Structures are given as C-alpha cells and as structure tokens.
Structure 1
Amino acid sequence: MNVLLLLAIILFVLMIFIGGKKGIRSFFSLFLNFAVIVLTILFMLDPHINPVIITLIACVLISYINLLFVNQINSKTIIAFISTIVTIVILLLFINFITEITMIQGFGVEESEELAVFSLYVGVDFVKIAASVIIMSTIGAIMDVSISITTSVNEIFHHNRSLQKKDLFLSGLNIGRDILGTDTNTLFFAFFGSYLGLLIWVKDLSYSYGEIINSKIFSTEIVTILCAGIGIALIIPITSWISASYLVKTKQKS
C-alpha cells in the first residue's frame, strides 16, 4: 500500500475516533483547503488580477471552511470568523506596506542557480505575491487563537452571566496572553524546523552571521514570523471585544 495512502487512512481513523462527526468534517476540510490554495495560485498567475484581493478572498474561504464548516454555524464560530476577517484585513494592509519597505520580494541568491534556466519576466507583482505568502502563512495561527478565545469567553459567560462587558473583555485578554507566547514560539520553531537544512547549508558555505541575517531567504522568514506574531497579538483584543460585546448585548435582549 502506498505510504501516503496509509498515513491518510491512519489520520482519518484517528480523527473519527477522537473527533466523531467533527473529525470527519475536519479531515475533508484538508482537501477543501488544498483546493482553495491551488485555485489561489492559479488566479495569482494572471497578471491582470491583484494577488492581494485574491488572497483576501482565499482567507475568507479558508476561514469559512475551518470555522463554520468544521465547527458548524453558531454564535461562537461566527464571532471567530468575523474577528479573523477583521484581523486579516488590517494585517494584509500592514504586510503589503512592510513588504515594499523591506524589499523581501523575489528570490534569493541561493536560489539563482535553480532559476537560471527560467525567465523571471512573468508579469507578476512580486511585492504583492510576497505579502500574499506571508498572510497565508499566518491565517492558521490567527484562526486558532480566535476560536480558542471565543470558546473560552463563551464558557466563562455561561457559568457567570452577571459579568459585564469589561470583565469579559479582560478575561479574553488574560486567556490570550497565555496563548500568545505558545503560538508565537510555535511559528518560530516551525521556521527553524522547515529551514534547518538551509541553515546547515549556509553554514557549510562559511556564511558569516551577518550574511545569514541579511540574506533574502532568512530575512523573508523572519519577517513572516514577526508579522504572524503581530497578527496573533491583534486577534486577541479584537476577538475579546467582539465576543464580550455580543454576549452582553444578547443578555440584555433576553
């Protein structure tokens, strides 16, 4: 049996055993997310389409799949979805600005040998492509933090409905502070895990620490980590405020 198929079956069985129906939806959401990413790449190849707009649409679809499809439509997932989209819009504008300043778009010197036989005149705005890559790298962490805070704040309010908007907001911030450190470090270790081979290679090439830090490949990943950290930090107060406002308003109506 093909190893990939065997691993997929093991994952599917575990997700059913642990997650039940939600596990089944989570498994199929992997394929839906993959389809969205493939379509996003295909549309980005068209020089007449703005990659930033395509990325924003892709983020909306990915957020819908992972929040509303997997966890079904309810007040918690809707709040998490709205919070994610608001954060993504703010972060996308910020990342587009940062990408133009840092000039991390395009390819590094280390990649020039593999790309020497290809033409780089493809008519695509690599500044916007770089911004799109960064935002797509952060969407998963932002959704994770958003649904975690929304669920926690809802649970707190469920057990103590006398809490006011300020109390719920502060509770969300306290929960977010614990998540902030772990999620940021997760992104950090994911970078070094995926680029460990590259770091070993540049060490064998006798790169100085200055050359490593100033190389485009390294600086691009560092900017991605920092922007993802900013996104995680932004989603915490945004989700806390929206959740607190919704819960208090719902209580007043009832």
Structure 2
Amino acid sequence: MLDTERHYLKRIVMADRPLFVVALPLTANTELHAEDAGAVGVYELIADTSTPSGVAAASALESFHTRVAISYPEDFVIKVVDPMGRRVIEPSDEDQPLVLPFQKISSVVRGWIADLVDGVEPIVETPGHRKSTVLVVAVPVRPQAELHPYDKGVRGVYSVDITESNLTDAQKAGSALNSFHLTVAVEVPEDFQITVVDAFDKILEAGAEPESRAFYCEIVTSGISKDMLALVGAPVIEEKRESKPAASRREDDDLSPSL
C-alpha cells in the first residue's frame, strides 16, 4: 500500500472532506528547474463536506498555488484527486475558490494516484488482481439527537478490502456488510441507511442471504460529501434545535461587560 494511501485510510476525519493536490512533472522526460523540484508530491487539503466538488477543486488549486511557489508551472501537471472515490475532480470557470489549510504528505507520487493524474483509467479487476476496495456508507435516517447513545459515532464512510478476486458484486456487497457489522456495533440498525459502493461509484446490492465472508474494515471519514449522499440516495434529515425564550436569548447574546 502506498504511504499516501495508508496515511489517508488511517485517518479519521471528523465531518471533513479530504482532497489531494498532486503535482507531477509534465512528462517522464521533463527536467524540472532546481527551484521547482521540491514542489513535486502529494498535498492534503480539508474541505467542508457541504462544499460542491467544483468549488472544492477550485479551492484546492487556489490554496496550492497561493502557498507553493513554482517558477515554471508549464513544466507540471497539477490535479485535484478525491481519494475516497479515486477520481480527478475539475473546477469550472464559475466556481469561486476559498483558501484552505493543507499539508504535504508525500514527495513521491506513484501507484493509482500517479495513474489518475496521468489520465490512466483505474484497473478493472481480473482473476490476477487480488484486492479491491469497496465503501460502506452509513447514513442516519433519524436526527442525531434521537439516535441511541452508542450509535452517535456510527455515521460515516468505511473502506472494506476485498481480498478474494472471484466474488460477484452481490457477494462483495454481502461480505462488505458482514465486515462492517462485525467491526461496528450498531445498536439500532434500522436507524441507518447502509449502502455499499464500489470504486466506480456503482451501488452494490447484497443477495437474499448476505455472504458471511469477513474482510478488514475501517472508517475513512465521518463526514459524507453531498455527492456521496446523492449517489446513495440518503434522506435529508432536519436536525432539531432547542429554542430558548426570547429573554434568555437576549441575555445570552448580550456582549456588554459584567459590572
């Protein structure tokens, strides 16, 4: 597993959407100027889960170019990668960027990240391709305040490493659900919509009798992007807020110094 992929999968990002900005020489034969050599690498930025993909991509690029000095940008290919969906996302001319905090997590770009930036499609599984990753998306169907106390941390996206290459989509889905429930103790399962998604944004349905295979499962992020919520058809839940009497609100909002 790549250092950058391991770094991403091992993190639990609370209600945030991680993105990668990847900077590579334009071609394998491009010789970078000495002052630009240090710009090559993978940078991680954190966007809000409510940010549309185009705005997130524009913000990631704006943040990168604001803080990473490149004297000869024509020598580079710079792309924004959604590591959860393993896809490149592009901004549009209408997207207004924000400046986001970021950090460099690797000076080496290789594997599926390098392939994506170079325009290579993800590898389709074959009998010789032993491992694939599917996502389990757990979305509450009730307001957070109404969930069982032990279920308040269940919401999120989980990765399941499928290490058997001959499984059907239904078997993958059943195995992913089994692995999820063996890893995450959900007290009230009916309070959640739980969906399995493959690396190509395809929803996988389990068979009538879910598979009992168990694979490694761990949380990727507790924040779920709007794109992912739309993909799985998650319901929109309005969170209930307690209202205060007007007098109490005015008292709480009074910023004058106490005497």
TM range (shorter): under 0.3
TM-score, normalized by length of structure 2? Answer: 0.23
Kindly indicate which of the two structures has a greater share of residues assigned to strand.
2
TM-score relative to the length of structure 1: 0.23
